[in-house]
Amino acid sequence: MSKVGKQARRCTAEAIVHHSFLEHRLQSRQGGPAEQEVREEDQQRINTFNKLNTRLHELQAGVKAKKVVVISAWSEVQQTKGCMLVNMVCRANTDTC
C-alpha cells in the first residue's frame, strides 16, 4: 500500500471518528440513544464520500510529486542554459577562456 493510500485512509478514518464523536455528544445532550442505525442510503453516501475523498488525497499527492519533478527539471534546464551561455561567450572571446 502506498504512503498516499495510508495517509488518505488515516484522514478518512479520523473524519469518521470525529463525526461519530460529535454525533454521540449531540445525542447524549438530547437524551437520545447512544447508538442509531444508519440507513442504507446514508451508508452508500458515506461510502461514496470516502472513496472520493481518498481519491482526492491520492490526486493531490500525485500533483505535489509532479511539481517536484517539474521544479527539478526546470532547475536543470536553467543550469544548462547558463552553461550554454558561458560556452558561447567563451567561443566569442577565445582570448579569455
Determine the 3-state secondary structure of 33 from DSSP: coil
Total number of domains constituting the chain = 1
**84 part of a folded domain:** no
**75 part of a folded domain:** no
**95 part of a folded domain:** no
The predicted model gives 64-88 an average pLDDT of 80
With both helix axes pointing from N to C terminus, report the angle between 3-30 and 40-92 in degrees, rounded to the nearest 10: 140
**88 part of a folded domain:** no
**92 part of a folded domain:** no
Q: Give the pLDDT confidence score for residue 45 in this predicted structure.
A: 94
Q: Which residue segment(s) compose the domain that 14 sits in?
A: 3-68
**32 part of a folded domain:** yes
pLDDT digits 0-9 by tens, 7-55: 656 666 666 666 666 666 666 665 555 567 889 999 999 999 999 999 9
Burial (CB count within 10 angstroms: exposed 0-12, middle 13-18, buried 19+), residue 4? middle
